[in-house]
Amino acid sequence: MKKYILVLDCGTTCVKSLVYDLGLRFVGMSSRKTQSIYPAPRMVEQDPSALYKLLLETAREVMKDNGISPSEIACAGIGAQRTSWLFWNSETQEPLCNLITWQDTRGVDVLKPLFTENEAFNSVFPGIAPYLTPIYTPVMIAAKKESSKEFADGLSNHAVRWGNVDSWLLFKLSGGKRFATTLSMASNSTMLDNQTREWNTYIPQYVGMRPDMFPEILDENADFGVISKEVFGAEIPIYGMIADQQAAMFAQGCFEPTVAKCTNGSGTFVNVNIGGEYKTFGGFYTSVAWRINGKTSYMFEGNSYTAGSCLEWAQKGLELYGSIKQLDDEAAEVKDSNGVYFVPALGGMSGAPYNDPTARASFMGIGPDSTRKHFVRAVLDSIAFAASDVLLSFKNLGVDIQKLSVSGGVSNSDIAVQLMSNLLDMEISRPKSIEATGYGIAALAALHMNIISEDDVKNGMDAYKTFAPDKNKEAAKAQFSMWKKALERSLKWL
């Protein structure tokens, strides 16, 4: 009997497989830490074959640990980190390159010589170069070609395909039979025309891509074929695929402009649903939230790309603390950071509202009485500062956010969420389970099977704890003002 939904979630710092029953009740989870590769300054990659292997390991483990046979899985859903891309050979199913992650900013090195100051490019695309960014995928592809002749030569192979992580995983899981993506993933690839919702291939072709390299774009709750029997021992239909941030947004009922979510994971991402009409909004990025049953919803997004990753860096690189739990415990042992401020910009401040990939992380305000625990507190506080900065920018531009919920690993910290509540002067809810991404993926698969409605999703993640502004509100705002001062000095560093 078919009883369960299998969720395959390939994030940046962690790969997870989760199981829900058909009532969308959580059954179990298995996870593995991923490894990032840093070949040179500004380069951040991952091994796509290793990610696929980890995904299979976690899926098999969660089924085994919970006594579930693959034949009992009614369907699966896929979620993945966004903007990270790779090329692979569709005949051999082998990658042509490592996954170039969303934290990579190597495009900075080639933007001027190959685009802005390149006569050949400007003659073909007059007036376009000033609007290109270092993280635009064709710019990144050009940078990769410059550094690897093998990669440059490999692009000419007729069997080579391009995709984000979701397309790669789907292709592998289906035994090479399905090559597709969704609007939520495509719109964050930087190569989709978000207004027409079609691939914009002109500049990609200039850097060596072909239209046949691009995956088909389907609805988030579409039929994506089946996981091959050879993978788990039974065919499993795939009924949902969505970008990780949009999945968390969907899970937390962000179906209207007054409801926002903030995910504090590898990065900090703030999302607001703006409905079915494409709109521009200050310096913030407008992308597709999802398309369900043919109906498209757009969203605004602001982010701090390396906010959560800075916690892992401070743990392993600086050895400031031994575990994330220790981080929270030690941060609570001091009343504040004693004037020390940390700017979480290891990979720049590439997201809105700053859009500066040349910024760099920094500690400022260090005095003779600064201790290790003050540094620990400064790192944790910086996540709340970065998230609140985005939300305050939204509010200043007239977005009437009345309800905010948080998810992601850092949202387990009472200190961080309370600081956000004080800075935003509003209540913030934290669901009992912060695995919003997994729940959102499962809900989309359940929508395809017609066993739930969108109204059911709105109440699927009820608040477990609510944070309200407290007596430290004014002090928090003063600290935020000093953090902004530190941030301004970290911008335009390179």
Residue 304 predicted with pLDDT over 90: no
Do the Cβ atoms of 273 and 248 come closer than 8 Å?
no
Residue 432 predicted with pLDDT over 80: no
pLDDT 10s digits, 392-422? 988 888 888 888 988 877 888 899 999 999 9
pLDDT 10s digits, 207-231? 999 999 999 999 999 999 999 999 9
pLDDT at position 461 = 64
Do the Cβ atoms of 88 and 49 come closer than 8 Å?
no
Do the Cβ atoms of 441 and 250 come closer than 8 Å?
no
First to last CA, the chain: 59
pLDDT at position 462 = 63
Burial grade of 162 (CB within 10 A; 0-12, 13-18, 19 or more): buried
Q: How far apart are CA 492 and CA 211, in angstroms?
A: 36
Q: H/E/C letters for each residue in 111-170?
A: HHHHHHCCHHHHHHCCCCHHHCCCCCHHHHHHHHHHHCHHHHHHCCCCCEEEEEHHHHHH
Q: Which of 58, 42, 44 is nearest to 10 (CA)?
A: 58
Q: How far apart are CA 398 and CA 391, in angstroms?
A: 11
Query: Which pLDDT band holds residue 433 (cuts at 50, 70, 90)?
Result: low
Say which range, 181-190, 194-203, 458-467, has the weakest mean pLDDT: 458-467
- The predicted model scores a pTM of 0.85
Q: Which of 57, 78, 2, 53 is nearest to 438 (CA)?
A: 78
Residue 463 predicted with pLDDT over 60: no
pLDDT at position 166 = 97
Span 465-469, mean pLDDT? 93
Q: Which of 316, 369, 320 is nearest to 342 (CA)?
A: 320
Do the Cβ atoms of 166 and 76 come closer than 8 Å?
no
Q: How far is CA 458 from CA 176, 229, 450, in A?
A: 35, 34, 16
Residue 263 predicted with pLDDT over 90: no
Q: How far apart are CA 191 and CA 232, in angstroms?
A: 34
Q: To the nearest whole number, what is the mean pLDDT of the chain?
A: 92
High-pLDDT (> 90) share of the chain, % = 72
Do the Cβ atoms of 323 and 311 come closer than 8 Å?
no
Do the Cβ atoms of 331 and 315 come closer than 8 Å?
no
Say which range, 85-99, 123-137, 294-308, has the weakest mean pLDDT: 294-308
Do the Cβ atoms of 21 and 27 come closer than 8 Å?
yes
- For residue 349, give the 3-state DSSP assignment: strand
DSSP secondary structure code for residue 443 in this structure:
H
Say which range, 30-34, 82-86, 177-181, 321-325, has the weakest mean pLDDT: 321-325
pLDDT 10s digits, 381-393? 999 999 999 899 8
pLDDT at position 307 = 67
> Which residue(s) pair with 297 in the sheet?
290
Burial call 186-223: b when 16+ CB within 10 Å, e when fewer: bbbbbbbebeeeebebebbebbbbeeebbbebbbbbbe
**For 96, what's the count of Cα atoms within 13 Å in the CB-facing half-sphere?**
27
Q: CA angle, 52 as apex, 38 and 150 as ends, to 5°?
A: 50
What letter represents residue 230's amino acid? Answer: E
High-pLDDT (> 70) share of the chain, % = 98
Q: How far apart are CA 100 and CA 82, in angstroms?
A: 11
What are the φ and ψ backbone dihedral angles of 96, each rounded to 5 degrees?
-85, -20
Q: Which residues contact 429 (CB under 8 A, 6 or more apart)?
A: 403, 404, 405, 406, 463, 464, 465, 466, 467
pLDDT 10s digits, 15-41? 999 999 999 999 999 999 999 999 998
Do the Cβ atoms of 177 and 161 come closer than 8 Å?
no
DSSP secondary structure code for residue 215 in this structure:
P
- For residue 477, give the 3-state DSSP assignment: helix
pLDDT 10s digits, 338-351? 999 999 998 788 77
Go through the domains of the chain in sequence order and give each one's CATH number.
4-244 (3.30.420.40)
How many Cβ atoms from other residues are within 10 Å of residue 278's Cβ? Answer: 16
pLDDT at position 256 = 85
- Preceding peptide of 353 cis, ω within 30°: yes
Do the Cβ atoms of 89 and 157 come closer than 8 Å?
yes
Question: What Rg value do the Cα atoms of the chain yield, rounded?
Answer: 22
pLDDT at position 311 = 86
Q: CA angle, 51 as apex, 48 and 53 as ends, to 5°?
A: 110
